[in-house]
Amino acid sequence: KQEVTQIPAALSVPEGENLVLNCSFTDSAIYNLQWFRQDPGKGLTSLLLIQSSQREQTSGRLNASLDKSSGRSTLYIAASQPGDSATYLCAVRWNTGKLIFGQGTTLQVKP
């Protein structure tokens, strides 16, 4: 069964810290992987998309990596800020058009 898991479920860090969010998936034959941000009660904002042929993608302070063989992706956030506080979702697309989501990691960055 194709599943996506994110650990930890919650993370609290002081402002300025660099941090890594983890995503793991069963079945390494993915098509692509997308990271999203979700603020409470709000929609999903796409952060980064990594195709299966890519190893990483960068956008500003965010860097996402992909290791298909081990079934893992990480989202690295540099110099975290209180405004980064949100839930971060990892979603994987396999051989169909749909995304399968992890349960998310809720990040709190303390001033």
Partner 1 sequence: EPEVTQTPSHQVTQMGQEVILRCVPISNHLYFYWYRQILGQKVEFLVSFYNNEISEKSEIFDDQFSVERPDGSNFTLKIRSTKLEDSAMYFCASSISTGNTIYFGEGSWLTVV
- Side chain identity at 70, as an amino acid letter? S
59 touches partner 1 (CB under 8 A): no
Minimum CB separation of residue 111 from partner 1 in Å reads 27
Closer residue to partner 1 in complex, CB, 51/81: 51
CB closer to partner 1 out of 34 and 80: 34
- Using CB under 8 A as the binding criterion, the count of chain residues that bind partner 1 stands at 24
C-beta of 17: minimal distance to partner 1 in Å? 27
Beta strand spans in the chain (E): 4-7, 10-14, 19-25, 32-38, 44-51, 56-59, 62-67, 72-77, 86-93, 99-101, 105-110
- Residue 64: strand pairing partners: 57, 75
Residues found near partner 1 in the complex (CB under 8 A) = 31-32, 34, 36, 41-46, 49, 51, 89, 91, 93, 96-104
